[in-house]
């Protein structure tokens, strides 16, 4: 934009700050953040502050992120606190996570994500009773959790899966396929990640709960119904969990398939040949716009029904956490 003599506006800055955050460019992020007002007289808004908290949070600079929030000239909103809470969970800072999470819940926020994050932080700290209490509070306040749902399009038809879904006509094949896949990827070091399950159940049962997440069922269906070597594209209305993340990577290797999952936050593409997970690497994965062109708008409309955030947010300017 500079080269073309075009002045950036506040939306351009959101995109730039978001990019810095994903790349881990802390100094550059602060440089651009300060240049907003210094060079263009654009006052940073809540979205820009959220990007900065995400930038610090991703880098594990949680204390700095909290101080940054304290220094804000306006009241931080739920997105900003939720971003910090998410970072606390990722970086296993239970002390700060519990403090921020409880503060949000006491302030009577009716945002399902805060309850779930807090409950997961308790569960991961082996405090199952506290985790259950958070879930109970959520139920008492009648806050519904958006159910995870994954969509895949095969031959022009959109197939929708919920976790543990058995309503699909190919259910038997799908479950058999996923069981086969699980056996194989375990040989490659896959271990079911059960830490975030709060319920008081045995380890094996936990594997069953997490083992049939909607994107896994969609993936198994995709492997059954698409040509070998073709790309598998899945859209999920909420964020993909760590366990599904690990599983997708190994399935990509084992079946030599490029797998692209568009979740609530971004598109992730696994392609084993390049030996790494690409996040918005346009040379290796489809451009977001083209991606949407490739599959019918049907799939996005249905995902949007499950979670409006998914449909509205342009990829590059996706807000961090909510």
* Chain residues that interact with Zn ion, rule: CB under 5 A: 213, 241, 244
Distances (CA, A) of 12 to 47, 49, 52, 93: 12, 14, 15, 32
DSSP 315: G
Question: From the centroid of its chain, how far is CA 24?
Answer: 17
Q: How far is the CB of 161 from Zn ion (least distance, A)?
A: 12
Across the chain, the runs of DSSP E, i.e. the strands, are 149-154, 157-162, 232-236, 259-262, 267-271, 276-279
- Please give the backbone phi and psi of residue 252, each rounded to the nearest 5 degrees, phi first: -60, -40
Nearest approach in angstroms of CB 243 to Zn ion is 5
CA distances in angstroms from 210 to 197, 222, 232, 240, 297, listed in the order given: 8, 19, 21, 12, 29
Q: In the complex, what is the shortest distance from the CB of residue 43 to Zn ion, in angstroms, rounded to a whole number?
A: 39
Residue 31 C-beta: closest distance to Zn ion, Å:
37
- Comparing CB distances to Zn ion, the nearer of 164 and 314 is 164
User: Among residues 36 and 269, whose Cβ is nearest to Zn ion?
Assistant: 269
**What residue ranges in 180-272 does DSSP mark as E strands?**
232-236, 259-262, 267-271
Q: Which is nearer to Zn ion, 111 or 239 (CB)?
A: 239
Nearer residue to Zn ion within complex by CB, 26 or 254: 254
Q: Which is nearer to Zn ion, 213 or 257 (CB)?
A: 213
CB of 236 to Zn ion, least distance (A): 9
Closer to Zn ion by Cβ: residue 100 or 197: 197
- Find the DSSP H helices in 91-213: 94-106, 112-124, 128-140, 171-186, 203-211
Whole-angstrom Cα distance, residue 187 to residue 170?
Answer: 26
How far is C-alpha 49 from the geometric centre of its chain's CA atoms?
A: 20
β-bridge pairing 259-262 and 267-271:
antiparallel
Give the nearest distance from C-beta 22 to Zn ion in angstroms.
Answer: 21
Q: How far apart are CA 54 and CA 243, in angstroms?
A: 22
For residue 241, the minimal CB distance to Zn ion (Å) is 3
Q: How far is the CB of 71 from Zn ion (least distance, A)?
A: 36
Q: What distance in Å separates the CA atoms of residue 23 and residue 260, rounded to the nearest whole number?
A: 20
Shorter beta-carbon distance to Zn ion: residue 15 or 162: 162
Residue number, 21 or 198, with CB nearest to Zn ion: 198
Q: Is 278 helix (H, G, I), strand (E, B) or coil?
A: strand
C-alpha span between 239 and 125 (Å, rounded): 21
């Amino acid at each position: 934009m500079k080269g073309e003599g075009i002045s950036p506006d506040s939306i351009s800055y959101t995109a730039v700050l978001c990019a810095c955050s994903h790349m881990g460019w802390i100094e550059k992020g602060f440089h651009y953040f300060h240049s907003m007002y210094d060079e263009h007289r654009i006052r940073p808004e809540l979205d820009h502050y959220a990007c900065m908290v995400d930038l610090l949070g991703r880098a594990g600079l949680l204390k700095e992120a909290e101080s940054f929030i304290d220094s804000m000239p306006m009241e931080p909103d739920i997105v900003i606190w939720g971003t910090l809470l998410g970072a606390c969970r990722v970086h296993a800072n239970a002390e700060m996570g519990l403090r921020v999470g409880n503060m949000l819940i006491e302030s009577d926020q009716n945002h399902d994500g805060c309850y779930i994050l807090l409950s997961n932080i308790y569960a991961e700290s082996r405090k199952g009773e506290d985790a259950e209490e958070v879930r109970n509070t959520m139920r008492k306040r009648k806050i519904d959790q958006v159910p995870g749902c994954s969509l895949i399009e095969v031959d022009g038809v959109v197939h929708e899966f919920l976790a543990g879904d058995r309503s699909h006509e190919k259910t038997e094949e799908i479950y058999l396929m996923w069981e086969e896949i699980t056996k194989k990827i375990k040989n490659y070091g896959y271990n079911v990640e059960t830490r975030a399950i709060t319920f008081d159940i045995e380890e094996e049962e936990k594997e069953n709960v997490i083992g049939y997440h909607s994107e896994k069922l969609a993936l198994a269906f995709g492997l059954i119904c698409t040509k070998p070597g073709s790309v598998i594209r899945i859209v999920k209305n909420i964020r993909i969990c760590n366990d599904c993340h690990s599983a997708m990577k190994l399935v990509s290797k084992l079946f030599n398939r490029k797998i692209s999952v568009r979740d609530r936050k971004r598109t992730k593409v696994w392609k084993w040949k390049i030996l790494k997970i690409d996040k918005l690497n346009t040379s290796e994965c489809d451009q977001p716009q083209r991606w949407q062109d490739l599959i019918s708008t049907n799939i996005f409309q249905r995902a949007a029904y499950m979670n409006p955030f998914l449909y509205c947010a342009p990829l590059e300017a996706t807000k961090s956490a909510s």
